Chain A
């Protein structure tokens, strides 16, 4: 709907009930009010939204490294290097592995937990309050905690595994390539399943019970009702939760930094960790610019696709 300019003649306008432009006399000091109040926020958002993009792009076409500071146009050499950088593509692969493993697990466990707490249950709020604690902890603290938990000798995890195995075990969670991913995903799922749980519990509570009960009377089975009635009803909320978590997983840094530091070797290096190492430890400034730009492009494509696919655009 068109916005009448602030200085325009006021008139009653029933169609724009949420627009107070038309509601009252306008004073001259108020003329640019709507721009004054939006300007500081927009300025700051440009600082983190547009400036980094442009600056990264410029730097990525130069040749700045730890030893050189060549600001001349260097063409596409940094971008060409992206294609031959095996470590970059491995980092991307690690990120994808963690995302596609952790996200469905968080969703499924979150859904099961939500189902468990959905019905009347005295004291439910106490359980929910306790269960949601991991979400509020800093990921760096969560990673540190799991680093202590997974310690091969003094950590409780090996002790507990030992109970089930029937004999003491010394699993090197941070070192063995076949165990380090389960460790990361376990920690990740531990921290963020409650996030899914809390949102799904709220969404499921809002589903109109008369619909499901009517379907039940009509003889529809549990799964049929779930997929035909419950899932479509909670889908908008679930899609947002998946989007938030999917994006956060793609950007994952803190938790892994604390838990494995990207190791053993570079085996658990994610794209964010690799970008950090190139930029702040190797000081490959220009090349980091190219990586950062690639990440932003990938993420933009991914988000646009996800939003379209999930029907969130409406």
Chain B
């Protein structure tokens, strides 16, 4: 049972840790680095609650080994904004009731962050198609779509919120 050293940049900060190769990236983020915003739902790659960005690409951290992130850059929900300075996407979710229990929300936010970087002006169909990736059990999804649309408006400057 050998350990090896990994260097992973998480939310812009470099971390060096000795870990077992079998350590999942989700557990690395949550327990080695202590960022518990990324949640685990199935460890099977189906629900998407554990979605983070790995070198900017949405990735299911429960199906990724931490060693696969060695030398790479991970972004988690904690990088998006603070309560006093929410990102437009976080703001959109707040405005439009895009969450209820909050458990799938970090995965949704990271998935949509990737989408909005690719395409800052997605239409409803494009949002719905991408949203099909992740499962939410609380909202019925519609308010999440509205939340992303609100974020698009905020980013464009069309909308100002208090």
Q: Does B bind A?
A: no
Residues of chain B touching chain A, judged by Cβ–Cβ distance below 8 Å, are none
